[in-house]
A = this chain, B = another copy of it.
Amino acid sequence: MKSGSPDMAKVSVKGGVHRRFLDPLNGKAISPPPIWLMRQAGRYLPEYRATRAEAGSFLNLCYNPAMAAEVTLQPIRRYGFDAAILFSDILVVPDALGQTVSFVEGEGPRLEPIREAAALARLKPGSASAKYAIICETVARLRQDLPAETELIGFCGAPWTVATYMVGGQGSTDQAHARGMAYRDPQAFQHLMDILVETSIEYLSGQVEAGAGVLQIFDSWAGSLPDGEFAKWVVAPTKRIVSAVKAKHPTIPVIGFPRGACGLSKTFIEQTGVDAISCDTAMPLSVMRGLQDTGKAVQGNIDPLLLVAGGEALNRRIDETLAALADKPFIFNLGHGIVPHTPPAHVAQLVDRVRAWKA
């Protein structure tokens, strides 16, 4: 079905304008596919680095609606992506819950870790709304400032991934602290997950009410869980969030990103209620093709390091990806976020190549 048909118009038109980004999320392939890039607002852009320096700390930037909106808009001005993604961080949620969160330059986030049931009492879910309101102000500004044809993506971290930081206190290669707590004290861990599910529903619903037209749930560490744990800590909480947000906002599309969970990606797409799945770099194109057969959209999955390298190898992989996936519902993206040393010219090369695509 081509863009502009009556059926599509019904679902992909907002404010009288066709938003191409919504077509694949409504089950419709378009050529060329819509494109955005994870971390498209970020350190690889000199204008981002300037605003970031002005903001002081990273969290200051997240909680300053004018500045957060500004950095969100920067890549839209440069590249005209089909969607902007709210500039924020998945650790805004533990911060809003009252956990101490800071970002150490060059080392990543540091949190006062929650290692046992008693520490959960320190969390204050009832007080989170004030910080969410600031983020939602950014969303509202963005919806005002963005071109009408550009979609705005709101997001949160999935409960499992947010919990790995809350329990571990920092990033790790194996998420051992959270996995350990989930095995050692599943009741306490379930309690933490319940808090995160409820607060994420509130947070995402607020973003939709402020103007986000699509949501993405980032589960960056979904790939470290065995199948039974994946069902408990990835599928079940994601499903609860998707159901609750869709109960309030029935037409809101949700993209899930269970990074590293290739072997359970079909389970994820079939059981969580998401409208699309974002695929990491290691996901074979053949598996992504299989996921499209569920009737839902896939998003991905160029290697961010290949984007750094650029050149003909990047062009070849873009073409290969489009040839494999673009005739079914597909959103062009990376398999993970843009890395800081990416040359902005390579991003332009990527966008131009995708935009010039003809099946």
Contacts and interface: CB of A to CB of B under 8 A. Distances in A.
A183 interface: yes
Contacts of A281: 224-226
Given A262-B263, A263-B284, A339 B176 contact: yes
Interface stretch (A15-23, A154-162, A201-209, A298-306): A298-306
A80 interface: no
Contacts of A247: none
A186 B283 CA distance: 22
Contact of A282 (B260, B308, B335, B339): B260
A183 to B, nearest CB: 3
A184 B282 contact: no
B179 A305 contact: yes
Contacts of A306: 183, 226
A320 B226 CA distance: 12
Contacts of A339: 176
Contact of A224 (B174, B176, B262, B282): B282
Contact of A335 (B184, B226, B260, B262): B226
A93 B195 CA distance: 48
A249 interface: no
A282 B305 contact: no
Interface string A311-346: 001000100100000000000000110010000000
Contacts of A184: 308-309
A228 interface: yes
Contact of A176 (B260, B262, B305, B335): B305
A301 B228 CA distance: 13
Interface string A180-218: 100110100000000000000000000000000000000
Contacts of A313: 183, 186
Per assembly, the copies of the chain total 2
A98 interface: no
Contacts of A224: 281-282
A286 B287 CA distance: 16
Main secondary structure of the interface of A (DSSP, over half): helix
Nearest to A261: B282
Contacts of A303: 179, 183, 226, 229
A285 interface: yes
B180 A285 contact: no
B309 A183 contact: yes
Contacts of A260: 223, 260, 282
A336 B174 contact: yes
Given A226-B306, A260-B260, A263-B283, 12 more contacts: A180-B308, A183-B309, A184-B309, A223-B223, A226-B281, A226-B317, A227-B286, A228-B317, A262-B262, A262-B263, A263-B284, A263-B287
29 contacts: A173-B173, A176-B339, A179-B303, A180-B305, A183-B303, A183-B308, A183-B309, A184-B309, A223-B223, A223-B260, A224-B281, A225-B281, A226-B301, A226-B303, A226-B306, A226-B317, A226-B335, A227-B284, A228-B317, A230-B282, A260-B260, A261-B282, A262-B262, A262-B263, A263-B282, A263-B283, A263-B284, A264-B282, A264-B284
Interface of A: 171, 173-174, 176, 179-180, 183-184, 186, 223-230, 260-264, 281-287, 301, 303, 305-306, 308-309, 313, 317, 320, 335-336, 339
